[in-house]
Chain A
């Protein structure tokens, strides 16, 4: 199994600022993903982080708002830009192991925007 570390684990930010969340995996993963989860709700896929190229975004999510980088196989960042209170949520990083089937999750970053 893959161990996925995220930081920060939580943050409180001011409206209009940006926050970058880091995701580090302990072994090479084939694919990495970023999800958003409102408290008590399901997980919604934001984008697939592609190594060395632009991320693939889901409907309703755009690169200007959620720029993503993945410079190598074990690291990715998600930036939440120009934040508003509606961005308050839990952001989770995920990766699939070598077999490509099982997806593991980090503990998430709990973001509050004031």
Chain B
């Protein structure tokens, strides 16, 4: 079952912060975050394997609440290069990665 992402879209000014949420109805083994720019491959950002763990990538960090079956991606002091569509992918049982609907992020100067 597809995880639910929110918001569907967000527009930021350079330097502003944003949070993208990903929630699942299933118990999760891991949460994976990707960013995809138009016409390009999804690029791996980070993976979260443990509940409550926070990982970081540049000024992008994420948390994983295993009990709530939720993950959040934090875009801090956003840069123009952060524009793109962010997908969360979840692994429940098995090795299949199931993706959320995506969140479009546009960072303006």
Chain A: interface secondary structure?
A: strand
- The answer to whether A45 and B97 have CB atoms under 8 Å apart is yes
Rounded to whole angstroms, the CA-CA distance of A94 and B89 in the bound complex is 13
Residues of A within 8 Å of B, CB-based: how many?
23
Q: Which of A56-114 contact B (CB under 8 A)?
A: 58, 92, 94, 96, 100-108
Q: Among A58, A96, A105, which residue has the most Cβ atoms of chain B within 10 A?
A: A105
B87 interface residue (CB < 8 Å to A): yes
Residues of B within 8 Å of A, CB-based: how many?
21
Rounded to whole angstroms, the CA-CA distance of A96 and B100 in the bound complex is 19
From residue A102, how far is it (CB to closest CB) to chain B in Å? 6
A31 and B95 contact, Cβ closer than 8 Å, known pairs A42-B100, A42-B101, A43-B87: yes
From residue A80, how far is it (CB to closest CB) to chain B in Å? 19
Rounded to whole angstroms, the CA-CA distance of A101 and B43 in the bound complex is 14
A102 and B47 contact, Cβ closer than 8 Å, known pairs A31-B95, A43-B42, A45-B97: yes
Q: Which of B2-57 contact A (CB under 8 A)?
A: 2, 30, 32, 34, 40-44, 47, 49
Q: Which residues of chain B come closer than 8 Å to A107, judged between CB atoms?
A: 40-41
Q: Which residues of chain B come closer than 8 Å to A44, judged between CB atoms?
A: 99
- The answer to whether A45 and B87 have CB atoms under 8 Å apart is no
- The answer to whether A105 and B42 have CB atoms under 8 Å apart is yes
- The answer to whether A42 and B41 have CB atoms under 8 Å apart is no
Residue of A nearest to B43 (CB): A105
- The answer to whether B42 and A45 have CB atoms under 8 Å apart is no
Top 9 A-B pairs ranked by shortest CB distance? A105-B41, A107-B41, A43-B99, A105-B42, A42-B99, A42-B101, A42-B102, A103-B97, A102-B44
- A residues neighboring B (CB under 8 Å): 1, 4, 31, 33, 41-45, 48, 58, 92, 94, 96, 100-108
